[in-house]
Amino acid sequence: MSDILDSTVQEIAPGPVLRTTRLELRPLHAGDAPHFHRLINDWEICRRLPDAPFPYSAQLAEEWIAAAAADRAARHAEHFALVDAGTGTLIGCVGLRLARGHKSAELGYWLGRAHWGQGYALEAARRVTEWAFAALPIGQITATVAADNDASFAVLRRLGFAVSGKGSKNFMCRPGQKLPVKHFTRERELPASASVNAEPKAGVLLVAAAALIDAQGRVLLARRPEGKKMAGLWEFPGGKMEPGETPEVALARELREELGLEVAPDDFAPFVFASHAYEGFHLLMPVFLCRRWKGEPVAREGQKLAWVAPGQLAEYPMPPADRPLIPMLRDFL
């Protein structure tokens, strides 16, 4: 069977597709099994993977790919085929297994031996890590690595992972043996806060935000998309005030641009304001309540949207400036 991507099969393998300069990360499908088997059936790979026996059978490759699809459908894991973007050739796999409650995930990856030492592991792991913090409700990613796997240590350190412990683990390729491992952890990055008395390096940043409230009393939150600072965190819609704009006029413009909503400035009711010292600037954000607008919210900037009951707002990770607003909104609504 050819190692080149079968575009027809790709279309029926649901799941996100991620890209880097050299790689495409896509869902595995049944047509990958023969090449998957040829790559992974290698002692130098299996001895580094706790859950990989050796020899690694062709049947097991088929079963693992089917299980990966089932795990994705059940929201237990997100596994990706690593594909050379230029040739369409499968060169390895990378994935995340979600912990119960979806607050953390465990990272794992492997490459065919012919592709070692070329930076593919770093490229793939970085892409998946960035995507996971932006798209999944996790606050932490962990990894467990065989104690002699120096190459993986280097990859994880470059991605900002820190050693969180040592231990031992059963490896299927060596039945009855527990081998030493190291545990790594990376937390979701939140913007650093400065002292409230510190002199802001870039002055005061003026931002207007709105708590849009629907007929059921729910509040609209927007999740910052991948590629933006604080990606993956939820916030109240709004944005920067332009020179000469009042907060109400700025907010009406931002809601039109971001969500496709038409709101008259007079429909905003002043509620509270947030004042927060970030590293490099001080945020000053008046927050308004709004119950009347024209249109339905549409995510025009790649963000996710959610209507959230007041009592559930605390379940959504938010930037430091937004979090103090939760109890005030909850008590008011």
**CA 123 to CA 130: how far, in whole Å?**
11
- Quote the pLDDT of residue 4: 39
277, burial (CB in 10 Å: exposed 0-12, middle 13-18, buried 19+): buried
Query: pLDDT band for position 231 (50/70/90)?
Result: confident
Indicate if the pLDDT at residue 144 is higher than 90.
yes
- Quote the pLDDT of residue 201: 53
CB atoms within 10 A of CB 154: 12
The three state secondary structure string of 134-162 is HHCCCCEEEEEEECCCHHHHHHHHHCCCE
Residues of the chain with CATH 3.40.630.30: 7-187
The architecture (CATH level 2) of 204-332 comes to: Alpha-Beta Complex (3.90)
Closest CA to 325 of 241, 238, 242, 252: 238
Residues of the chain with CATH 3.90.79.10: 204-332
CA 162, chain centre distance (Å): 18
Indicate if the pLDDT at residue 7 is higher than 60.
no
- Quote the pLDDT of residue 193: 53
Which CATH number is correct for 7-187, 3.40.50.2300, 3.10.105.10, 3.60.20.10, 3.40.630.30? 3.40.630.30
Give pLDDT tens digits for 193-225: 554 454 545 688 899 999 999 999 999 999 988
Q: How far is CA 220 from CA 76, 173, 176, 216, in A?
A: 27, 50, 53, 11
Global pTM value: 0.69
**CA 30 to CA 184: how far, in whole Å?**
32
- 């010292």: which residue's tokens? 277
